[in-house]
Amino acid sequence: MEILNQIASKIDLFLLIMARIGGIFTTGPVYSNRAIPRQVRVLMTVMISIIVIAGVRFEMPEIPSKLEHFIVLLAGEMIIGMIVGFVAQFTFAAIQFAGQALDMQMGFGITNVIDPLYGTQAPLMGSFQNLLALLLFLATDSHHYMIAALFQSYQKIPLFGLVGEKEVYKVMIDLFGNMLVTGVKIAMPVVGALFVAEVALGMIARTMPEMQVYFVGIPAKIVVGLLLLIMILPIYIITLEFLFKKDYQDTLNILKLLG
Helix (H), strand (E) counts: the chain: 9, 2
Quick one: pLDDT at residue 6? Answer: 58
Quick one: pLDDT at residue 235? Answer: 85
Quick one: pLDDT at residue 68? Answer: 75
Span between the terminal Cα atoms of the chain, in Å: 34
Residue 241 one-letter amino acid: E
Helix, strand, coil percentages in the chain from 3-state DSSP, rounded to 5: 75, 5, 20
Give me the residues paired with residue 121 across strands. Answer: 114
Q: Nearest 5°: CA angle at 83, between 79 and 85?
A: 120
Phi, psi of 119 (to 5 degrees): 75, 20
Quick one: pLDDT at residue 230? Answer: 84
Nearest to 74 by CA among 150, 134, 162, 155: 162
Domain range summary for the chain, segments of one domain joined by +: 2-258
Quick one: pLDDT at residue 28? Answer: 79
List per-residue pLDDT tens for the chain, 259 residues long. 565 565 555 677 778 888 888 888 888 787 777 777 788 888 888 888 888 777 767 666 666 667 777 788 888 888 888 887 888 888 888 888 887 778 777 766 666 656 555 556 666 777 778 788 888 888 888 878 888 888 887 777 777 666 666 677 777 788 888 888 888 888 888 888 878 877 777 777 677 766 676 667 777 777 877 888 888 888 888 888 888 888 888 887 877 777 6
Report long-range pairs for 58-61 (Cβ below 8 Å, ≥24 apart).
58/13, 58/154, 58/158, 58/159, 59/158, 59/159, 60/10, 60/13, 61/158, 61/159, 61/160
Taking every pair of Cα atoms in the chain, the longest distance, rounded to a whole number of angstroms, is 84
